[in-house]
A and B are shown apart, each in its own frame.
Chain A
Amino acid sequence: MNSPVGLAAFLLVVLATAVIGFYGLRISRTTGDFYVASRTVPPWWNASAIGGEYLSAASFLGVAGLILLSGTDALWFPVGYTAGYLMLLLFVAAPLRRSGAYTIPDFTEARLESTAVRRVTSLVVVAVGWLYIVPQLHGAGLTIRISTGLPSWVGALAVVLVVYLSVAAGGMRSITFVQAFQYWLKLTALAVPVVFVLLHQSGGSAVPAPESVNPTGLPAAGGYQTVSLLVALLFGTLGLPHVLVRFYTNPDGRSARRTTLIVLGLLSVFYLFPTAAGLLGRMYAPGLARDGRSDALVLLLPGELVGGPAGDALSALVVAGAFAAFLSTTSGLVVSLAGVISQDLLGGSVRGFRIAALLAAVVPLAFALATDSLGLAGSVGLVFAFTASTICPVLLLGIWWRGLSDAGAIAGMLTGAVLCGGAMVAGTLLGAGTAPAWLAQPAAWTVPAAFAVMVLVSRATKQRIPGTVTRVMTRLHVPERPLANER
């Protein structure tokens, strides 16, 4: 790829992010503004922002790369990422908004009347956030290397710097505008090149069949792996900290549901394009899979298939979209992590928020610089397995089951964290190819185990169920009065 063009695309995205971020600075005044944009963001903006934040390196680069590698098996990733939002809508969106809590630890503490639960939840949230930022930075490194020829660390460092500055300067309000902008940028940056390549190729003669092309010779995934992956994706989404914090910016429970519906539409439209890119890659550029550049498929596709100045321009657009993906997901995660870290450790002031934001961004940067990427969609899939085994049970049972006790919540979260974390470590140590399926995709047994422990320990410690449970459950589920009926 032509390196000045790639560099220019990257700088443009950074500039646009900064401009929108600083424009938002003028609006945010109080601590409340800083954390949740005062809950006055309109549904369309909010939905675009949620979409913008959610579509990470895994969605933008990883999905197409994985489809190139493993064909129809990989189609479950985008479906699972989207259906995860359906589960979030069904079980979590409105009650969580009505809880009035700002972060997941706020919620668990209020629901279970226990600071110990709060601490454990905070630890899990921070672990999830850090784990999730690492693949974003790997993606940034990959993109900068492919598009400009600079070393990988430049990309990771640049993303962390931009995110830290915009988060520390503007807080959530400006982030909302930045995220909303970045959804549309990401969609354009993938849709335009894919449609262009499609039109370009449709003139060609012989069309190879995608099923006859298996560039890696990988065997098809077994039923267990697919089911386990879907468990992770469906139940992992509703525990992601940066996704949840967005719901507090809706004015009430009903608008939280409406926003989620719009998000589902936006995600469905978006995922058609990485899917199409993956299919195109499998048909026309299977060579990319063999030399280990599959995650760069969407970056390289326009250059490989179109070429010339048009190919360069399209590549620049994709690079811009990719950086939008890394920036938006990373900043969403940094905001929510900083919220958790600053409230728990630093007293919740604006200054504490800035220090916490630094902490939230630098730790995963160090980790990303010390490790190599092992496939973006896969590593993000593992993070989903981890949230599904830890935060998902405590949220679902906390919202729907009166019998949850603080001891049960802690025991369940720790069980999930130890089992799933252990499987992730063991799977990594054994290596991607050699780990057995139950270690490579642990969600199918770690999620039920966490739920079971949470329920059983809660049953055994009934006397620890808080006395406020009726009041809190009422608050979660009873609709707010519409403004017009307020007497």
Chain B
Amino acid sequence: MTRVRVTAPQSAGRRPAGLPPGGSQNRDAAVDSEVGRLYVRSLIRSQLRLAVVVAAGFLLVLAASGLMVALVPDLAGLRLLGVPVNWLLLGAGLYPVIGLAAWLYNRSAARNEARYRDLVDER
């Protein structure tokens, strides 16, 4: 197996608008057969499903935190390390959730792509 250097098109800025020509061979080959198109469709569907599930999960956490702060006024009186708990929840607590969602998504998206690649290679 020899390594081939892949370079980005250098003259693209001068080109009239549109996608740069060429692109990777296997990406164009994917649409040349009915099976290839099917695989691509299922890849897109699984990536979209994943993105929607992660987004919905995050929005649920966001809504829950908002409601908690709005509906439980006692949180403002509680203190952790001298900071009111409602401040801590909205001002610091949501960031780890965002990071976790992003990390989970990255892992699963890469897995979807690996699965697609395996399917195409088997053919």
Instruction: Indicate if the CB atoms of A478 and B43 lie closer than 8 Å.
Output: yes
Number of interface residues of B (CB under 8 A): 63
Instruction: Indicate if the CB atoms of A487 and B31 lie closer than 8 Å.
Output: no
Instruction: Indicate if the CB atoms of B102 and A261 lie closer than 8 Å.
Output: yes
Instruction: Indicate if the CB atoms of A257 and B106 lie closer than 8 Å.
Output: yes
Instruction: Indicate if the CB atoms of A400 and B117 lie closer than 8 Å.
Output: no
Stretch at the interface among A7-15, A18-26, A30-38, A316-324: A30-38
Q: How far is the CA of A183 from the CA of B6 in the complex (A)?
A: 31
Chain A residues with Cβ below 8 Å from B28 are: 471, 474-475
Instruction: Indicate if the CB atoms of A400 and B19 lie closer than 8 Å.
Output: no
Instruction: Indicate if the CB atoms of A34 and B13 lie closer than 8 Å.
Output: yes
Instruction: Indicate if the CB atoms of A261 and B98 lie closer than 8 Å.
Output: no
Contact among A30, A475, A477, A479 with B10 in the assembled complex (CB-CB below 8 Å): A30
Instruction: Indicate if the CB atoms of A89 and B13 lie closer than 8 Å.
Output: no
A436 at interface, CB cutoff 8 A: no
A206 at interface, CB cutoff 8 A: no
B92 at interface, CB cutoff 8 A: yes
Give chain B interface residues in 28-84, CB to chain A under 8 Å.
28, 30-31, 37, 40, 43-44, 47-48, 51, 54-55, 58, 62, 66, 69-70, 76-77, 82-84
Give chain B interface residues in 78-100, CB to chain A under 8 Å.
82-84, 86-87, 90-92, 94-96, 98-99
Chain A residues with Cβ below 8 Å from B92 are: 272, 275
Majority DSSP secondary structure for residues of A touching B: helix
A445 at interface, CB cutoff 8 A: no
B27 at interface, CB cutoff 8 A: yes
A461 at interface, CB cutoff 8 A: no
Rounded to whole Å, the gap between the CB of B24 and the closest CB of chain A is 6
Chain A residues with Cβ below 8 Å from B15 are: 348
Instruction: Indicate if the CB atoms of A102 and B27 lie closer than 8 Å.
Output: no
Stretch at the interface among A126-134, A207-215, A362-370: A207-215
Q: How far is the CA of A102 from the CA of B12 in the complex (A)?
A: 9
Instruction: Indicate if the CB atoms of B76 and A475 lie closer than 8 Å.
Output: no
Tally inter-chain residue pairs, CB-CB below 8 A: 169
Number of interface residues of A (CB under 8 A): 71
Contact among A99, A275, A477 with B43 in the assembled complex (CB-CB below 8 Å): A477
Instruction: Indicate if the CB atoms of A110 and B51 lie closer than 8 Å.
Output: no
Contact among A76, A207, A475 with B19 in the assembled complex (CB-CB below 8 Å): A475
Instruction: Indicate if the CB atoms of B23 and A86 lie closer than 8 Å.
Output: no
Instruction: Indicate if the CB atoms of A272 and B91 lie closer than 8 Å.
Output: yes
A459 at interface, CB cutoff 8 A: no
Contact among A82, A102, A474 with B40 in the assembled complex (CB-CB below 8 Å): A474
Rounded to whole Å, the gap between the CB of A230 and the closest CB of chain B is 7
Q: How far is the CA of A39 from the CA of B63 in the complex (A)?
A: 38
Identify the 10 closest CB pairs spanning chains A and B, nearest first: A31-B13, A268-B95, A75-B90, A90-B51, A479-B113, A275-B91, A110-B19, A32-B10, A211-B76, A486-B4
22 A/B residue pairs, CB under 8 Å, sorted by A: A30-B10, A30-B13, A32-B8, A32-B9, A72-B69, A75-B87, A86-B58, A86-B98, A86-B102, A91-B51, A99-B19, A254-B110, A258-B106, A268-B98, A272-B95, A275-B92, A279-B83, A471-B28, A477-B44, A479-B117, A481-B26, A485-B1
Interface set of A (CB-CB < 8 Å, partner B) = 30-32, 34-35, 38-39, 72, 75-76, 78-79, 82-83, 85-87, 89-91, 94, 99-102, 105-106, 109-110, 115, 118, 207, 209-211, 223, 226, 230, 254, 257-258, 260-261, 264-265, 268, 271-272, 275-276, 279, 343, 348-349, 400, 470-475, 477-481, 483-487
